């Protein structure tokens, strides 16, 4: 089919009419596409489908299941488990609202079966969407070759394109047995979704959002859970207001929090794990470290960070990477080699599914629709932590605002209260809210909250902040009563 492209610089093409099918170079044995995407996760799939809409012949290479981390071992199954954990919390409140419930039993097996079936359904939808868009799916591990033009090899077959996107995502970081004896006896967040039964005794290691979410889910569903953190609080990269409150809420919910602690060793005894912990308070320099043991552990879960999936790509010296292996890109997602791009977790910036999707689509618009300035704005990206209760945050922390604007130009508004839902319940949790404003006009540059419903409140406020809302704009908005969200427009 005839295909006409407007003349643009080498990396930008504006496709006007019909799609051209992939071609196979008989002399070279290389199959050619307009767009070759390595990684069938959220970012890669979104970019490939958008490019296809503009007439590009595209292919997606995936070594595992379509959907990537988010669909298979991340956001989606995690949210299912969090929903179940919330049900468990609400059970404690039913009698306070007049419901008499007895003999309530929870089946991890039933939940897992329904969750896994849902994930499989999503896998099929992704495959169907690719087929409908006439995007070729190539199953296997992509590896860059030494050919003069950017080329990858999958299962012995070579593929090339003028535009190749790397969207291979990341994976949980793990410790070796040399670093911590017996570390391999634990699992990661990937392994969490393989658990066939609810662990009676769990130990989670880490202070980031994945550790907080995993510990909260396990504890709420009935597992006796300990959380091991190296310092005194969780979520240290978040606003301190959130970090302090989330640490407190974890403890109030029944999670056994071990501060200033690290795992020294792990060993298996009688089918269960024995986890040895070393605790040392850096503020008490004269105090010796304490060594204690948590016994009869069914599940040790490492949540100590993530690393990029680049080791099998054979990028070698072809592309610039940072010290952790993340592919370095510019503001347009260009790597150090022309015609090769990267989006998502593999770049190590804003590790969130919607970020990868947005960046992938923006890239497709630039390459195949001719929008040469199309790029993702990485400022004021909203994010939610599905803790108990959930956290919502967008924009700068107070600490970041002070660093950028100076303390004298930063105005903070905050509040803490008990949500109306808990007026009748014996179980309590606080709702905290904070606005970070800068300049004489008090432009809102940061919004942070933790409490019931904060996960669903955030999106609308994020739009306002992205549009440059000021504190006066918030004040001029009529409150919705009775809600927790009204606090943001009534703060003084």
Helix (H) or strand (E) holding 416: strand 410-417
Residue 282's contacts (CB-CB under 8 Å, 6 or more residues apart) are 260
CB 157 within 8 A of CB 31: yes
Determine the Cα–Cα distance for residues 343 and 359; give it in Å rounded to an integer.
6
Rounded to the nearest angstrom, the gap between the alpha carbon of residue 97 and the centroid of all alpha carbons in its chain is 35
The closest alpha carbon to 320, from 345, 338, 344, 307, belongs to 338
DSSP 18: P
Q: Number of H helices and number of E strands within the chain? A: 11, 26
Determine the Cα–Cα distance for residues 182 and 275; give it in Å rounded to an integer.
9
Determine the Cα–Cα distance for residues 176 and 182; give it in Å rounded to an integer.
8
- CB-CB neighbours of 120 under 10 Å: 13
- CB-CB neighbours of 257 under 10 Å: 19
Question: How would you list the strands of the sheet with 272-279, edge to edge?
Answer: 261-269, 272-279, 290-297
The closest alpha carbon to 202, from 190, 217, 183, belongs to 217
- CB-CB neighbours of 67 under 10 Å: 22
Alpha helices in 133-208 (DSSP H): 189-192
- CB-CB neighbours of 170 under 10 Å: 23
Q: Residue 14 catalytic?
A: no
Query: If you compute the radius of gyration of the chain from its CA atoms, what whole number of angstroms results?
Result: 25
Residue 403's contacts (CB-CB under 8 Å, 6 or more residues apart) are none
Residue 492's contacts (CB-CB under 8 Å, 6 or more residues apart) are 413
Determine the Cα–Cα distance for residues 303 and 297; give it in Å rounded to an integer.
16
Locate 270 and state its tokens: 């009688």
Determine the Cα–Cα distance for residues 128 and 476; give it in Å rounded to an integer.
47
The closest alpha carbon to 131, from 59, 62, 37, 70, belongs to 59
CB 438 within 8 A of CB 397: no
Q: Which residues are marked as active site?
A: 481
């Amino acid at each position: 089919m005839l295909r006409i492209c407007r003349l643009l610089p080498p990396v930008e093409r504006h496709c006007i009419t019909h799609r051209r099918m992939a071609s196979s170079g008989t002399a070279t044995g290389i199959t050619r596409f307009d767009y070759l995407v390595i990684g069938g996760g959220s970012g890669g799939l979104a970019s490939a489908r958008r490019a296809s809409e503009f007439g590009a012949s595209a292919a997606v290479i995936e070594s595992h299941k379509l959907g990537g981390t988010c669909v298979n071992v991340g956001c989606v199954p995690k949210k299912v488990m969090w929903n179940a954990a919330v049900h468990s919390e609400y059970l404690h409140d039913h009698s306070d609202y007049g419901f008499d419930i007895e003999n309530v039993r929870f089946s991890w097996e039933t939940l897992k079966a329904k969750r896994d079936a849902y994930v499989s359904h999503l896998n099929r939808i992704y495959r169907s969407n690719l087929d409908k868009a006439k995007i070729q799916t190539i199953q296997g591990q992509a590896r860059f070759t030494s050919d003069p033009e950017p080329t990858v090899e999958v299962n012995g077959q070579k593929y090339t394109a003028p535009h190749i996107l790397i969207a291979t995502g990341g994976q949980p970081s793990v410790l070796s047995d040399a670093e911590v004896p017996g570390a391999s006896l634990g699992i990661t967040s990937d392994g969490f979704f393989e658990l066939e039964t609810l662990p009676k005794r769990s130990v989670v290691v880490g202070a980031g959002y994945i550790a907080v979410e995993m510990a909260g889910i396990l504890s709420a569903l009935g597992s006796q859970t300990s959380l091991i953190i190296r310092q005194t609080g969780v979520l240290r990269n978040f606003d301190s207001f959130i970090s302090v409150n989330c640490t407190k809420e974890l403890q109030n919910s029944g999670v056994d929090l071990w501060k200033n602690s690290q795992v020294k060793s792990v060993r298996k005894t009688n089918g269960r794990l024995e986890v040895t912990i070393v605790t040392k308070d850096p503020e008490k320099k004269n105090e010796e470290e304490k060594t204690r043991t948590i016994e009869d552990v069914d599940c040790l879960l490492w949540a100590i960070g993530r690393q990029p999936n680049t080791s099998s790509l054979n990028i070698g010296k072809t592309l610039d990477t940072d010290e952790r292996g993340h592919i370095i890109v510019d503001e347009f997602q260009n790597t150090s080699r022309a015609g090769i791009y990267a989006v998502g977790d593999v770049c190590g910036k804003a590790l969130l599914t919607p970020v990868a999707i947005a960046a992938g689509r923006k890239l497709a618009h630039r390459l195949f629709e001719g929008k040469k300035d199309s790029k993702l704005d990485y400022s004021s990206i909203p994010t939610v932590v599905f803790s108990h209760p959930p956290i919502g945050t967008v924009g700068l922390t107070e600490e970041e605002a002070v660093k950028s604007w100076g303390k004298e130009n930063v105005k903070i508004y905050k509040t803490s209260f008990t949500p109306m839902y808990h007026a009748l319940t014996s179980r309590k949790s606080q709702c905290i809210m904070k606005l970070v404003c800068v300049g004489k006009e008090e432009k809102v540059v940061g919004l942070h909250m933790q409490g019931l419903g904060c996960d669903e409140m955030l999106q609308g406020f994020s739009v306002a902040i992205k549009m440059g809302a000021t504190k006066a704009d918030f004040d001029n908005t009529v409150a919705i009563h009775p809600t927790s969200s009204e606090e943001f427009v009534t703060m003084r």
